[in-house]
Structure 1
Amino acid sequence: MLYWVLFIGIAVISWIVQSRFKNKFKKYSEIPLTSGLSGAEIAQKMLHENGIYDVQILVANEGQLSDHYNPANKTVNLSPEVYHGRSVAAAAVAAHECGHAVQHATAYSWLQFRSAMVPVVSIASRLTSWVLMAGVMLMVFSGNPWILAIGVGALFLTTLFSFITLPVEFDASNRALAWLDASNVTPNREEHDGAKDALKWAAMTYVVAALSALVTLLYYAYLLFGRRD
């Protein structure tokens, strides 16, 4: 019963945070930058001012808010509205993704740890649902806990990955905001506060995702260890 209360609560909070973030992004997308720079130009400027010349800036094809940095091929991938945009939101997102490139170039430990986990977590995330389902059924009908234990182990890895992502994302935002101010890309208070607010709500989506993963892990861990007792 407690699990379902927590699950529903997290789901509601997640919906609120996602909606809030999208509204914030829309709001700050309508505030033009004094500098008039596009997201792509800001990304290139930030990379070059940090001594990074081997990272490409590409247009992501996955759609809105699909922006990401890929350390495997050293590319900053910006959604069309960020790549071409000349708004506070575009500046914040472009600088944030370049913050990850700076982390990579400076061997930021949390990013290295996260990147090392990607291959294993990628496999675990694809198999977890099926293994957990099979494990619960086997536990109920035969009392055999081993498949469920494997599923809980895989779920632990994906949950750990979610929490390791948090310092990586917060650090990238801090680097972005510091650079935006130092480079005078967001020279006035409205632009600075807008960029900060947009990145805060983006970070909150990762916090909620991590908490959701933790609640799910605790539920299946309870099924495994509780029923075995």
Structure 2
Amino acid sequence: MQRERALSDYKTYRYFRPSELRNPHKQLASFFEEEDVESLKSEINDFFKTACDEAYEYGNSLRYPATHQNCFKLLELAYTLKNSNENFTLQNDHKLYRSSDAVFTQAFQENIELLFPLVHLRLLSAAEINDITFFLSEFFEYKSLYEWHELLDNLLRCANGDTVLEKIYNRSSHIILVKEYVEKLIEAMYLIYQTKSINYKSESTEGKKEALSAEIENAIIEYLRYFK
């Protein structure tokens, strides 16, 4: 059985320093304060399509390195949270608890408007949403952290035109499955952000507001002093 590397082992992580992952929720809150979940999915789709196509580039090719980096961030945060033994189970009265996998079909048939943030969770199953640990465990059983790093590096190489992904992995079905895993990872981390990490964003935002208010107050005082 392969031994999981300790958080202190710097080689495990390619983007974050171990000290930055002592509070992964703070990092996740900061991430989704800057990134939009649907834009991430769209960029991943373009990233994969370009990596698989010798002739065309999809989306904004200047964004490929940023997409690669965003995947690394979410990957390493997911790995840290998966190994944290934190309880991610949603109670059945939680607003994001899902009782059925048919929620989107039902909404379409009955013309029900799905509210934010539920509308962003389209790929995860009800069981995965209600306890995201199931998905995180499956994700890292499918590939180790090192293998995910290697795959993302190969994606960037292919998107830059060095080679084509199918020449590395040979099976198109494998690539389709990998793409779905990465898209589900985005949803999984967004779910954790909404249920756990968003409190850190609130604290950060309040801190910025207070700092801005103090700055404005000082500016007004200086302004009035100047015209005394």
Hey, which of these two has a bigger chunk of strand by percent? 1
Q: TM-score, normalised by structure 1?
A: 0.28
Q: TM-score, normalised by structure 2?
A: 0.28
Structure number with greater CO (CA < 8 Å, separation at least 6) is 2
